[in-house]
Structure 1
Amino acid sequence: MKITQVEAIPFAIPYRKPLRFASGEVHVAEHVLVRVHTDDGIVGVAEAPPRPFTYGETQAGIVAAIDTIFAAQVVGLSLLDRETVHTRLARTVGNPTAKSAIDMAIWDALGRTLDVSVTELLGGYTDRMRVSHMLGFDEPAAMVAEAERMRDTHGITTFKVKVGRRPVSLDTAVVRALREGLGEGIDLYVDGNRGWTAAESAHAMKEMADLGLLFAEELCPADDVLGRRWLVSQLDVPFIADESAVTPADVTREILGGSATAVSIKTARTGFTRSQRTHHLAEGLGLEVVMGNQIDGQLGSLCTVAFGAAYELTSRRPGELSNFLDMSDDLLTEPLCIADGELTVRPGAGLGAEIDPEKLQRYRLDR
């Protein structure tokens, strides 16, 4: 059960259409496949999706960090030495996605070694989650059409709507069009990616007060400390801290400071080990939790549902598990399937993920 090698393989798969939001846009999934090898011949896998406009990581930076810093920190350790792995990786500031992919690949390798699923190792509460689909910037009619397609094809009835444009009426009109076009059987919430000021956010939420929104997420920057506290204090829906609350310490600061009332957990940036810490903290504080999406591919989405299904709290709300549908292809031998609005945990040991060697050869960038 000792780790003998850590691989970081860059690959690129185009999206069928770009996903646009307040902090940037994505045209190609330039991700990194991480593989952890053991002396028993086991290989654990995970996906690292860099988001340079949010965390400062790039694909090349993730590969370099793993190859030149992190691999040497974990080679020789046992798969059971997860706290030692966490401590050693934490010595280096930043690089959340690189660290998280190593962590999740170790959990996958451990599950494969023990012939137990990662979800069972983590908690085993259920084997599925309801799905929320993320809608990027577009014209109202196009966003309504995409939501209708997701509802009619995959049974998805919860949608996260990207907002944060100026004037705010561009986005409030979209949300209203979605509510009117899809009816009352649909749940909606909004994510500003820090695009508005606190005053703009307050104005927008008043315009949408009659639309029955579930949440508001990162409408304005957390660095606007007083403005954000002022905004959150007047909202009647939970305010989700996302990119402002990556670590448990961030969550504590944002919640106790009155800058948020709920939290998004993204396994792509906190792995399984640190996501556990955030989950337990949220449970102790009585917070709403949403399993978020870092525009993951299928492997990343599999990691998210594996964690989210493991606990009662994280499985209460639909998880953001569907953006892989916007990719033109993927690396898994057996594609994920969203049916009746749900994504199930893949059966089998570990994450239950198998990489198609031909697809990896086609899309990898290091050969």
Structure 2
Amino acid sequence: MKITRVEAIPFAIPYRKPLRFASGEVHAAEHVLVRVHTDDGVVGVAEAPPRPFTYGETQAGIITAIDSIFGPQVTGLSLLEREVAHARMSRTVGNPTAKSAVDMAMWDALGRSLDVSVTELLGGFTDRMRVSHMLGFDEPAAMVAEAEKMRDSYGITTFKVKVGRSPVSLDTAVVRALREGLGDAVELYVDGNRGWTAAESARAMKEMADLDLLFAEELCPADDVLGRRWLVQQLDVPFIADESAVTPADVTREVLGGSATAVSIKTARTGFTRSQRTHHLAEGLGLEVVMGNQIDGQIGSLCTVAFGAAHALTSRRAGELSNFLDMSDDLLAEPLTISDGELAVRPGAGLGAELDPDKLRHYRQDR
């Protein structure tokens, strides 16, 4: 079970419509497929989605980091030496999705080698999760229509609404339209991607106080330390730290400093090894946890549900698992399906991710 080679393959798949939010917008999944090869002929896979507006990574940068730093660091290690791999990759600052994809591909290869699913390796609490769908910026009627389609077609009843525009009434009107259009049977929460000031966030949350929101996420920048603490102290819903709390140390700082009361775990940026650290920390601190989405494709969504389903805490809430539906295609031979508002762990060893070689040839960008 020794690693012999790590591949980083760029690919691009257009979205049917762009996803827009306060910190940027995405028109295509310009991601990196990572494959970890072993001396037994086993190949583990994962997906690295660059988000330069959040973490500074680009597709080209991820490939360079894996080819020149992280791949050589893990080559020769056993798949069981995940802590050694983590320690070696941690010597390099940043590059969270590049590191995470290598880590998750190692877990996938380990599961395939042992003929055990990654979810079972991680904890095996359940085999599925409820799904939350992320709604990007649009007019109120269009966002209500999209939510209705997701509810009627896939049974999804939890929606994360992107906010953060000015004036705040642009977004509060959308959330109100969603509540009035969908009724009380759905769960709604908002994500500002740091787009508002603390004062704007407070005003917006007061305007939406009667809408029974589940969470508020990253409404204002964590860099506004006093403003964020002031905001969190007056909210009556959990405030999720997302991009401000990537590492367990970040989570500790934000929570103990009064700047957050919940946390989003995104396997795309913390892999499985570091995500477990964050999960255990959240358990110890008594935090709410949601499984977040980095606008992942189907491979990334498989990783998210594999981790989320493995633990009681992360499977308690609906996970952000559906935005691959906005993509025009994907790399899996058998597409994921959401049924009755749930996404199941793919059966089989590892992640259960089998690629379509024709699709990979079509969408890869290095040939």
TM-score > 0.5, shorter chain as reference: yes
Q: Match of 2:221, SS?
A: coil
Q: Answer yes or no: is 1:323 the counterpart of 2:298.
A: no
Alignment of 1:60-71 (within 5 A): 60-71=60-71
Could you say which residue in structure 2 is the equivalent of 1:345? Answer: 345
Structure 1 stretches lacking a partner, 5+ long: none
Alpha-carbon displacement from aligned partner over 1:164-210 (angstroms, at most 9, x marks no partner) = 00000000000000000000101000000000000000000000000
Counterpart position of 1:82: 82
1:279-318 alignment, distance < 5 Å:
279-318=279-318
What is the match of residue 197 of structure 1? 197
User: Alpha-carbon deviation of 1:160?
Assistant: 0.1
Q: Following the alignment from structure 1 to structure 2, what is the Cα–Cα distance between the partners of residues 220 and 319?
A: 22
- The offset of 1:14, in angstroms, is 0.1
The runs of at least 4 consecutive aligned structure 1 residues that moved more than 6 Å come to none
Mapping for residues 214-229 of structure 1, pairs under 5 Å:
214-229=214-229
Structure-1 residue corresponding to 2:13:
13
- Superposed counterparts of 1:145-294, under 5 Å: 145-294=145-294
Match of 2:365 in 1: 365
Paired with 2:319 and 2:186, the residues of 1 have a C-alpha distance of: 15
What's the counterpart of residue 58 of structure 1? 58
* Correspondence for 1:95: 95
Where do 5+ consecutive residues of structure 2 fail to align? none
CA distance in 2, matches of 1:273, 1:314: 15
SS in 2 for 1:280: helix
Across the aligned residues of Structure 1 and Structure 2, the Cα RMSD in angstroms comes to 0.2
Distance in 2 (alpha carbons) for counterparts of 1:40 and 1:138: 50
Post-superposition offset of 1:296: 0.0
User: What SS does the aligned partner of 1:36 have?
Assistant: strand
Deviation at 1:72, TM superposition (A): 0.5
After TM superposition, give the deviation of residue 311 of structure 1 in Å.
0.2
Instruction: Please report how far the alpha carbon of residue 111 of structure 1 lies from its aligned counterpart in structure 2 after TM superposition.
Output: 0.1
1:226 shift after superposition: 0.1
- Give distance in 2, aligned partners of 1:317 and 1:69: 36
Identity %: 88
- Distance in structure 2 (CA, Å) of the matches to 1:136 and 1:70: 34
Counterpart AA for 2:136: G
Amino acid at match of 2:87: T
Q: How many residues align?
A: 367
Q: How far does residue 297 in structure 1 lie from its aligned partner after superposition?
A: 0.1
Deviation at 1:354, TM superposition (A): 0.4
Counterpart-to-counterpart distance in 2, 1:359 and 1:52: 26
What is the one-letter code of the residue matched to 1:361? R
Residue 119 (structure 2) aligns with:
119
Distance 2:152 2:24 in 1: 29
Distance in 2 of aligned mates of 1:183 and 1:145: 13
Instruction: Give 1:337 shift.
Output: 0.2
Structure-1 residue corresponding to 2:134: 134
Letter in 1 for 2:160: K
Partners of 1:71 and 1:62 lie apart in 2 by: 11
The superposition leaves residues 196-229 of structure 1 with CA deviations (integer Å, 9 ceiling, x where unpaired) of 0000000000000000000000000000000000
> 1:80, CA displacement in angstroms?
0.3
Query: What amino acid is aligned across from residue 229 of structure 1 in structure 2?
Result: R
Whole-angstrom distance in 1 between the partners of 2:281 and 2:71: 29
1:33 corresponding residue in structure 2: 33
